[in-house]
Amino acid sequence: MTGRPWRDVVLPPVAERFCRYAEVWTTSDPDSDTFPSTQRQRDLGRLLVEELTALGVDAEEDAWGYVLATLPSPLPPAEAGALPAVGLVAHLDTSPDAPGKDVRPLVHERYGGGVVALPGPAPSGERATLDPDRQPALRAHVGQDLISSDGTTLLGSDDKAGVAVLMQLAADLVAAEADAVERGERPAARPELRLLFTPDEEVGRGTDKLDLERWGADLAYTVDGGAVDTLNVETFNAAEAVVTFEGRGVHPGYAEGVMVNAVRAAAAFVAALADEPAPETTGGREGYLHPHTVGGTAERATVRVLLRDFSDNGMEDKRQRVRQRAAAAGERWGAGVSVEAEESYRNMKAHIESVDPRAVTVAVEAARAMGFEPALAPVRGGTDGARLSEKGVPTPNVFTGGHDFHSVFEWNTVQNLERTLAYVGALVRQWGAAG
């Protein structure tokens, strides 16, 4: 079973929209000094503006590549004014961790539970497969219609799934509210919605240039999560340490008593982190230290280390351990050492609770109105919601149903996309009821 091209399958609107957006190349670039980091993200942004405008929605792309759109509340002004302006957020870019050009979505109808062979060779040269032994979440989706790439690229469910859900929600709301007015009925109550599509989330810059006042949301939700029926209400605290070792270069034939090899010091530092918690050995609420880039020469070598922890105390402890191990490695090899740590984002839970905890309580009530109890899970990664919450707009994260992000083995299902759309619609209605 290798699946069929998505255009050969009859799909519900949200799934069709997702596959169409997935084909647009929007990979961001962490090494770029522009914003957005790649202009190709604007291709999708311009498409969204065109589609929203065709629906009659006020939409624009600003100078930085943010797409902003407003769906006014259908309630009378006095009632609408009692509700917050609710932001709904998804990001335009896909991760640079796997190829993102020429994505070809395939649909594997009625998944039977076995290994799915994808037609294209993975970047490693081996044929890519979806394998429940390696990807156990597949077992919970037997009978559903899987969506994957052809195995040569990522799929882009992170976060084209969120983009498709919000765009389909806008189309559905516009149609339903126009139909209600035509029938002489009052449209379903909901708050004003402020849609936001951000560039460069995958490289940690998704909110760097955002004009919060222009956007105008009082609280928000990123539609950028994973497993269905899961809400993320807290994240890691995150920082990156850049550890630099300064050596002394000389001809190696005459180096005795003179050379100081910065590469050896860097290697000793990385070796000293071997017993620290790592991404590949931790889960749940466990933090880690992750040396992810090493480079340099005997004269100067640099190691970049990601620091992650859910608590402030745990984060400070990790900073101290990096400094101590760097100093010890430098002393061992006689190298100079400098450590620069830059904060990336902070745990959003405290910000949500202090500004407007209804961002969580109403989200839970919406799930219960649909008949399920949501899992409130910490997210082991950054979202635009963490940065927005820190800036004063409490922003939990909503599931999209995707799995195995940032890889050629990424997948979602038609049913998960429909589930996400149904939940976000319920969330909007719950805010209407809250007023």
Q: Is 201 one of the catalytic residues?
A: yes
pLDDT in tens, the chain (435 residues): 579 999 999 999 999 999 999 999 999 999 899 999 999 999 999 999 999 999 999 999 999 999 999 999 999 999 999 999 999 999 999 999 999 999 999 999 999 999 999 998 766 667 889 999 999 999 999 999 999 999 999 999 999 999 999 999 999 999 999 999 999 999 999 999 999 999 999 998 999 999 999 999 999 999 999 999 999 998 888 999 999 999 999 989 988 999 999 999 999 999 999 999 999 999 888 999 999 999 999 999 999 999 999 999 999 999 999 999 999 999 999 999 999 998 888 889 989 999 999 999 999 999 999 999 999 988 887 679 999 999 999 999 999 999 999 999 999 999 999 999 999 999 999 999 986
Beta-carbon count within 10 A of 412 CB? 32
Three-class HEC string of the chain: CCCEEHHHCCCCHHHHHHHHHHCCCCECCCCCCCCCCCCCHHHHHHHHHHHHHHCCCEEEECCCCCEEEEECCCCCHHHHCCCCCEEEEEECCECCCCCCCCCCCEEECCCCCCCEEEEEECCCCCEEEECCCCCHHHHHHCCCCEEECCCCCCCCHHHHHHHHHHHHHHHHHHHHHHHHHHCCCCCCCCCCEEEEEECCHHHCCCCCCCCHHHHCCCEEEEECCCCCCEEECCECEEEEEEEEEECECCCHHHCCCCCECHHHHHHHHHHHCCCCCCHHHCCCCCCEEEEEEEEECCCEEEEEEEEEECCHHHHHHHHHHHHHHHHHHHHHHCCEEEEEEEEEECCCHHHHHHHCCHHHHHHHHHHHHHCCCCEECCECCCCHHHHHHHCCCCCCEECCCCECCCCCCCEEEHHHHHHHHHHHHHHHHHHHHHC
pTM of the predicted model, to two decimals?
Answer: 0.89
- pLDDT score recorded for residue 435: 66
Nearest-angstrom CA–CA distance, 177 and 335: 68
Structure tokens at 35: 């914003």
Tokens of 183: 């029938």
Q: Which two three-digit tokens encode residue 267?
A: 């290697």
Q: Which has the closest alpha carbon to 351: 195, 229, 239, 220?
A: 220
- Candidate list 16, 93, 158, 404, residue with the active-site label: 93
Catalytic one among 192, 201, 276, 404? 201
Q: What are the residues whose beta carbons fall under 8 Å from the beta carbon of 185, sequence distance 6 or more?
A: none
What is the predicted pLDDT for the residue at 179? Answer: 96
